[in-house]
Amino acid sequence: MTRLQDESKACPQTQRDGILIAIRAKTVQRVHAVTLSAGQELEVVVDDGKQKWTVVFTTGPRGTWRTMYGFMFTPNRDETYFAKEEGDKFRVTKQFVGEREYTFIPSIVWSWMPASFENRWLSPSLAAGLGFDKANPAVFLGASFTYNHNIALVLGYVAQRQKRLNANYDPANLPLVDSALTGDQLARDAYRPNAFFGLTFRFTANPFESDKKEPEKKAPQQEKQGEPQKEDPNKDGR
């Protein structure tokens, strides 16, 4: 290379440029511009016949799923009935609910955090969750608005079990019955859609899993029994 540089000094500028272009043409191969989307990788392999080099370029994952523990609230839309005394019979009557009550449902919610929203203080996302209304499962689907990865406001619709009038009776034409039927006798359970809203929290570890580990029990070490000492015959002048 030094010799080529020394000889090229005596060459005209155009001749030196031609020599350098010829050298680059044998050692450099131009690659067209490649555009990578989020979650994609580009593997470049260079092989000169003797050695091979591999380089991988990545844009990182498209995003991550987040697991959050939430407290959901749904309006109580149960329709309850009772038997109202009317003469010597009882009429099935809908029970009036004055104030709208809300049902509390602890739940687990999963939401998607796109890589483009990782550095934002507020990230909207689709969210889905599971919960239990007393002993009845509930399924959530809605939108979440996550604040700095760890706190999210979630709202949408939930499919939950609600009380409705027994199928033997017509809600539009409540009948007279011979006995004072109880609310449980007049009701049936049916899954119906309902609105919900709630707050969820993300933990870096499972909050229900204990981090305390029991100390390992070490096996008792057996003491080495020493060899019996030999009496010194010269002891005590003997």
| pTM of the predicted structure, to 2 decimals | 0.58
Predicted local distance difference test score (pLDDT) of residue 169: 82
Predicted local distance difference test score (pLDDT) of residue 2: 42
Q: What is the identity of the amino acid at 75? A: P
Cα separation, 146 vs 121, in Å, equals 8
Predicted local distance difference test score (pLDDT) of residue 197: 95
Q: Element (H or E) spanning 7, and its range?
A: helix 2-9
Predicted local distance difference test score (pLDDT) of residue 183: 81
Predicted local distance difference test score (pLDDT) of residue 144: 94
Cα separation, 86 vs 105, in Å, equals 39
How is residue 149 written in tokens?
């990865």
Flag residues of the chain having pLDDT under 70. Answer: 1-13, 15-31, 97-99, 205-238
Predicted local distance difference test score (pLDDT) of residue 8: 45
Cα separation, 151 vs 154, in Å, equals 10
